[in-house]
Each structure stands twice: as structure tokens, then as C-alpha cells.
Structure 1
């Protein structure tokens, strides 16, 4: 999620009961919920970047400078699953088809907006008002917006706090996904309205051609301050296909042995190993009292500093961690690479390394020797701690030419300042998350689950080791 200036609308998700899981299966504790393993998964593939981190999707001011960065029982239920692509383990992409043409789009649970750059796209410097080379924006394949893609004759505009600006038009046509990354025909093809961008500035990765928004608005989306009859991809899918209104995400840290970087499943869960500790937690309202994005309430943090670190003394005097009871609203956002925490918590974690991390204001991040001993960092949710692997806490730094700094790493925990708190890809690589929108579908259809105070839940299982 790279926050833009268009209005974020509410997401309405349906609450369900707690589940338990074993390898390859999930078993309901009651008959109200029976999510199943599906082989219909969008795979994520691995690509190295020239830069150490991808751009977080939240609206941090430093983004422009950091390019270096059931379920209700139904009959004949179908599923879709595919493998994903990753950009150096920081941004993740799914393969889709738009108008029959294949593209890789960044998956973003922090946005409901889906768009693709067209063959008419011009990379534009908004400050100098000059056209730049396409290599500056570093977009992937460009979309030819001819038939069967049809313009709605409505403009769309996206502006991001990072300085990224995109303009184009709305259009609709066949949008396919599920199996595309495996060379198969799409499991699902829906008639979908998306943004077709023709000009702007984008800090791309050279692979993705746009964004696949996986948030779920409960009302038409606002583009350019005007309400458009545009619904998200998930909304269209769950209202037009015979599929359970659930999707699940299992990001994976990249390795040299496997090009697969994770799985995105619709209507069920991918067949991946978990620790079996499934915990449900409801979506909660934001500070404005509305349901926007996948916002959950965490219990606090489970942090054990390295024994000889500066934070170790604090930990000894506070058994279980200094911030074990620190309730926070956090957004689950696959479009953000880092975990963004309250400043004091980020500082405590930075001090938990031996030797400790130091804050480098020029890049607005903590820097730590790559050989440092790491603290044990977990996010406490509904009484369970979900830990971040030590190998996900640090990422080696690259300079502008792509040469590797041998001994310095970036800490993948970022102080929030005045920004929102985010559970980004760094944390998501250590869990399997199920997003359940059953009640949202029932509310919109006028079904019996019409309680507007029940907007859904996510269910989480740990998978730190795989």
C-alpha cells in the first residue's frame, strides 16, 4: 500500500470461528467453518533487485529517496491458487491476464485499487515537467488497451506521498488469474474495471506492470475525488463466481534453491506447512471509526534482546519483554516491505542487537552489522506470539551501483513517526494469513449475516521455519 490522496473506503469482512490446522489440512472446531487446502494458487517467483529494499507502500516521506529500497457451506465450490514472484524478498507479484495479455502485478493487501501501465505510458518528472526515459520508472511489460478492453471514458488519478503520481483512464475487460504463473489458462476470468495509466512517475522494479489491489471496499471506489462505479477485483470475484469469500497469503523468503516466493489462494488455503497454532482475530475500526484496510488489534510484542545488547538490561527487569503488553492497531499490508512499529519499540529492538543498530538519518532507517547477534522479535496476537525469523530481520545494503556492502545491513523494522503501524512483508514471510470476507458478501447480498458490526476477521498460523 503506497498511500495516495484518494479516499480510502471501508472494508467489510465476515467473522468466523476459530480453526485448528495440521500440515496439509485445516479442521473446523465446529460446523460453521471448513476452509480447505486448494491447489489453485498464484505463485510468486523470485527476482533480484538493484536495490536493498523495495518501496514500502505506506506514505512515508522518505520513499522517494529510497528507490534503494467458511465458511458458509456451498455446493460446487471452486478454488484458485497460483505461485508468486518476489522482487528481492521485498515486493511480491502475481501473474494475471488483462484483455488476454499476461502481466505481473504487485499484490497489495493495503489497497483496493488495481491498475496497469499502458503502451502509451510516459515517465514524467512532476517537478521539472519533463518526459523521462522509460528506464526511470522501471515498469515491466506495458498493456495494449485495445479490444476487448473498453474505456469507460472516465479519468483516474493516483497520487502517492512518495512523490509518485499516475494518471490515466478507467476501462473494463476480461481479467484472469489463478494458474497463470504456472503456464495454465486462468482459473477465473472476470469482467473487471481497472485503471489504465498513461503518464506519471513510478518507482518500479523492472518486473511489475502495475498493482493488484486485494483490499475489499464496501462501496464504489473514489478516483480523482469522484465516486466511480468501480469495485475491487475481490469484490467482483466473490460476487460473480461460485467461490467461498476467502483468500489466503503465504509469502516466502527467497532462496537460491527455490524460485517460488509464496502462494496466493482464493477460496481456501495453499498446501504449506504451518506450526498448527491457528488464531482468529477480528478486523477493527480505525481512528476515524470506520473499517478501512485489514486493521487488527495486537496484544503487544514478544522481544528477547541478544544477551550482551544494550536492551538486555531492560529485558531482565521486565520478564517477557518490555513491550509485551502494548496494544496497537496495525494494518496487514503485503505492499509494505518492512514492519513499521512505534518509535520506542523500534528503538528497543535496534538496541537488542549485539552490537546494536544505529539510526542513519540520511536513509531514515536503522543500520546494523550483518554479523550482529539478533534479538528474538515476535508480534503477539490473540495470546500467541508470531516470530520474525532472524534472517528476515536484516537485509544487506546495496549502494547506488548495486555493489554489496560487505558488513552493513538494513534493519527491516522501521520507526513509524506519525505514520500508520504496518505488518509488512517482513512479518508476512513468517505466517500464513487467511482473510475471511464471508459477512461482507452476505451484507451486500442482503443475507442473514447482516450485522454491520461484524466486518470479518483474519486467521493466522505461524510458519517461521520452512
Structure 2
């Protein structure tokens, strides 16, 4: 998930050295998989049958060079210690090989570029005057955190109100930490406005930014929000978590959308853009209330989201026992895949992760099919491959429907070596052992090939094959 969120902050990386050890016993949820029994339904034509065009669509405004932390998170995620006057579709922007899809957001009348993330739940923006730290907790100048603005000024907002006696604190598996106060304010994306939305405005950040984004739009479930009923961040635990409605569910509750779903279409760059451009505009759409406005084919399926129950749930909030958009994968198909047997295919659909992370046997068998074969780099533990290698076919079957991945998505440039030669990795990477409780990721490499329509209220996801582009 974008940075693989740990829902409760353990706080060791930022303040632990000063404040003593945290009570790690209370630092994690007790996850139990909750399998929904809904039967997947094949949709012959999603737009005509049950997915209307969106009320609001905004373009992804840019693709920025993915933050250093995203690259650091790769190993951790693998388990190795059109707009109209009221547009319901916004444009998404993005960057070189590691994409971070961004769009413009207004909070309390102040404009920011935020990362769009279906793998986390909070919509937060850094606060003006914040303190910056490195990942070891040492104070740094603000420019080290590399946010894309000076931050949100609560005093400059006519609609801001503090959320008293609570705190926001979150840590990501790459070591990033954000903490601070929380407020409520009006949040606007495209033509969609939500009033009195809970917005964390951290004042302390150990963050490796990209110089463009100033925070995150979290589009996952209430169960993953990270606001706590304490002003002392060291006392944050599952026992005092405050579950609230993330931005999109607030829009549904306030009847700002006709239908309780949002849709994402992520465009791919050309290899040349990925290798050379630091900022790429107009790379898809985030749409509210209907399907994103891109050409699609008749290959479509709606599947239930698989949930996780925890000791911390709140009745009355849609999706309060769900954390991520997790679906069951039926099979992976590629040359030689008939020899690969996998036992666990619980997989998260995550716009915040570039590559696909699949079970180790799948990643290894697919890597061997490249010509020349992809090999594991001993330093990064990623599958690297010749940038001009021949790419084998690959498809993912979900709910009985098979979705092929374009070969252009399976080789990604990630930088230069000492001789200025381009280094490439495969789009399918090792997500760890295939065992009970494991969760894998369908990232941007897969999502470039489908329109994904998320329904957090009914607990469903619709995948629709995109027309070639």
C-alpha cells in the first residue's frame, strides 16, 4: 500500500530514543480475515449495465518522481526486514519509473497537490511551520522532508475548526512518521466538496518527499484511519483509536455523489517519459459517483472486497470492518504457469504501489521466462532485467474473468548505474512466501490495464478491461 501503512504508530523511529520504549503490545491490530461469500458477477458491459458516467471527474494532474521512501518501501512490502465547471473527474499527474499519481486538492481555501492512495484512509496535509526529522529522529531543516508547499495554515482558513483532545500519528514500513493535531475543514477535489471533513495536519514529520506533494488523499476504509483519543502520541493504541469517515465516505454521507463509488483509470507513460521526465501531466482520472471517462471493453467483473475484522470496529460506519481493497485472485497465467501452484491469493488493489507483488513462486517462475531471464539484484532484492528484454505474456484472473497486462508495463527503468546505463526492473516482483495470512499487491502495473471502480459502501470492486491505448 502506498507506503504500507502500519495503522498504529509504534513511534520508535521518531521519538522513541527520547521518550523511552513504546508499549508495542498495543501497537498492532489483531487481524482476522473475513471472507465475504458474495458471488462474483461477470458484467458484459459495465458502463451500460450498472456503472454510469461519473458525477465528478478530475484528471491526475501529474506524475512526480516517486519519493525516496517509495523505493525504500519496496523491500519492506515484500516482507524482507475533462473537467467541467463541476467536474466529478479530476486529472491525475505522475513521474519516472516509480509513479506517484497526484491531483489538486483545496483544503480550507488553500490549494495543494496530494498523492491519491487507495491503500490508506487518512487525508492529511502537512501544517505550516512543521518540524522535520530524518528517519532516525534527528532534527533537520524543512527542505529535507521535501514537501511541495509551505504547508496548511489553519489561521488562513475560514472553515477550519480544531478537533480537540486527539492526535494523528502514523508510521509507514519504510520508517516515515507523521504526527500532530487534527482539525475539520472543507475539502474540495474537482467539483466535489465535503464539509467538516476530518483532516490531520501533522506538525512533526520524518518524511522523504518528492518536492511536489504535500500530503495524501486516503480513499480506503474507516478501519484504517489513524486518529486517537489522546493528545500524547506515545499513548496511541487500538484501544483509543477514533474511527471516522474518510473523504469519499463523507461525500456519500453528505449526498454529494449520486452513487456510492469512485473510479480510477491510471495511464502509463512511455518508456522514454519514465526514464527522462520528472513530471508528467494528464495521466488518467479519479472519478466520483461513476466510472472514469476512458474507453473500455466488454470484459468486466464485480467481486466482493475481502475484509479483516479487528478488536477495533465502530458500528454504523460503512466498511468499518474493512481495511484495504483486497480481492481473491483465481490464477496467474504466463508461459510455464501450469507448473506453479499457489495457496494464498489475497491481493490488495493499491494505486500507491508501482509494481505487482506476487507470491515468491509466481515471481520467480515469471522472471525466468524473460529473454534474457530477469535476475535478483543482491543489493535491492528486486528482479532486474535487460531494458530491451523480450517480455512474456502475463494475465491475472479474478472472479472468473481474465485481465491481460500489457507488456509495456512489465519493464520499468529505475535509474542509472555508475556507467550511466539505465537500470530496469520487472513489473512483477517477489511479494514473499505464499502462506496463510499473506497479502499480495496488484499495483500500478496491473491497474494501467483496467478501470477500477471501488464501492466501499457495498463492499465491492468492479474491474473493467481498458481499450488498448
Q: Where does residue 119 of structure 2 map in the other structure?
A: 110
Q: Where does residue 94 of structure 2 map in the other structure?
A: 86
Instruction: Tell me how far 1:18 sits from its aligned partner.
Output: 4.8
Instruction: Tell me how far 1:87 sits from its aligned partner.
Output: 3.0
Instruction: Tell me how far 1:39 sits from its aligned partner.
Output: 6.2
TM-score w.r.t. the length of structure 1 is: 0.78
**Pair 1:296-2:327 in alignment:** yes
Residues 41 and 266, structure 1, Cα contact 8 Å, conserved in 2: yes
**Pair 1:378-2:381 in alignment:** no
Instruction: Tell me how far 1:404 sits from its aligned partner.
Output: 5.2
Q: Where does residue 26 of structure 1 map in the other structure?
A: 47
Residues 389 and 464, structure 1, Cα contact 8 Å, conserved in 2: no
Name stretches of at least 5 consecutive residues in structure 2 with no aligned partner. 9-27, 229-235, 312-320
Match of 2:427 among 412, 418, 422: 412
Instruction: Tell me how far 1:275 sits from its aligned partner.
Output: 2.0
Which structure 2 residues correspond to residues 249-288 of structure 1 after superposition, within 5 A? 249-255=264-270, 259-286=281-308
Q: Where does residue 181 of structure 1 map in the other structure?
A: none
Q: What secondary structure sits across from 2:322 in the alignment? A: coil
Q: What secondary structure sits across from 1:277 in the alignment? A: strand
Match of 2:142 among 134, 139, 142: 134
Q: 1:156 to 1:79 in 2, by over 3 A?
A: same
Q: Where does residue 450 of structure 1 map in the other structure?
A: none
Q: Where does residue 201 of structure 1 map in the other structure?
A: 206
Residues 78 and 430, structure 2, Cα contact 8 Å, conserved in 1: no
Q: What secondary structure sits across from 2:339 in the alignment? A: coil
Q: Number of residues paired by the alignment?
A: 406
The 2-side partners of 1:43 and 1:434 are apart by 16
Instruction: Tell me how far 1:91 sits from its aligned partner.
Output: 1.6
Residues 300 and 324, structure 1, Cα contact 8 Å, conserved in 2: no
Larger CA deviation: 238-247 vs 83-92? 83-92
Larger CA deviation: 374-383 vs 289-298? 289-298
Instruction: Tell me how far 1:156 sits from its aligned partner.
Output: 1.2
Residues 67 and 208, structure 2, Cα contact 8 Å, conserved in 1: no
Instruction: Tell me how far 1:369 sits from its aligned partner.
Output: 0.5
Residues 61 and 104, structure 2, Cα contact 8 Å, conserved in 1: no
Instruction: Tell me how far 1:57 sits from its aligned partner.
Output: 6.6
Q: Where does residue 15 of structure 2 map in the other structure?
A: none
The 1-side partners of 2:73 and 2:444 are apart by 11
Residues 40 and 82, structure 1, Cα contact 8 Å, conserved in 2: yes
Q: What secondary structure sits across from 1:197 in the alignment? A: coil
TM-score w.r.t. the length of structure 2 is: 0.77
The 1-side partners of 2:374 and 2:456 are apart by 40
Which has the larger share of strand? Answer: 1
Residues 265 and 284, structure 2, Cα contact 8 Å, conserved in 1: yes
Residues 169 and 197, structure 1, Cα contact 8 Å, conserved in 2: yes
CA RMSD across the alignment: 3.4
The 1-side partners of 2:138 and 2:324 are apart by 35
